[in-house]
Amino acid sequence: MVATQSTDAGLQLERTSLSFARTSVSILGLVVACLRWLPPSNSIALVGPVIVGALVSGVTVHEHRSRSRRMTRCATESATPALGAGAVLAVSIVVLSLSGLWVLAH
């Protein structure tokens, strides 16, 4: 079997980075929508969206800063999946959902 040269010039990494950016923007849009329709007298309801906004902003900044390092790792085929960033985005969706349910229950 003959080994083939990889022709990927970082496009897979680019698509992954863009998907993290799209997901982050979508979640931040949900945070803004939640803040828009929260009851004005309930400051406890702000905790969930504020935590989610901080988590998503942190993932976005980390994704942007670590991109060149991951591109280098991808070129040498020693890249690892961004499981942590994906997990933080998933947890942020759960936290936002739970805070919405809490607002509806009270």
* Nearby residues of 70 by Cβ (< 8 Å), 6 or more positions away: 13, 79, 82
Indicate whether 58 belongs to any domain.
Answer: yes
Radius of gyration of the CA atoms of the chain, in A: 18
How many structural domains does the chain have?
1
Give residue 3's pLDDT: 55
As a whole number, the mean pLDDT across the chain is: 81
Give residue 6's pLDDT: 57
Give residue 103's pLDDT: 79
Indicate whether 5 belongs to any domain.
Answer: no
Give residue 2's pLDDT: 56
Give residue 26's pLDDT: 92
What parts of the chain have a pLDDT lower than 50? none
Q: Domain containing 19: what range?
A: 12-105
In this prediction the pTM is: 0.73
DSSP character for 91?
A: H
Indicate whether 92 belongs to any domain.
Answer: yes
Indicate whether 74 belongs to any domain.
Answer: yes
Indicate whether 6 belongs to any domain.
Answer: no
Indicate whether 23 belongs to any domain.
Answer: yes
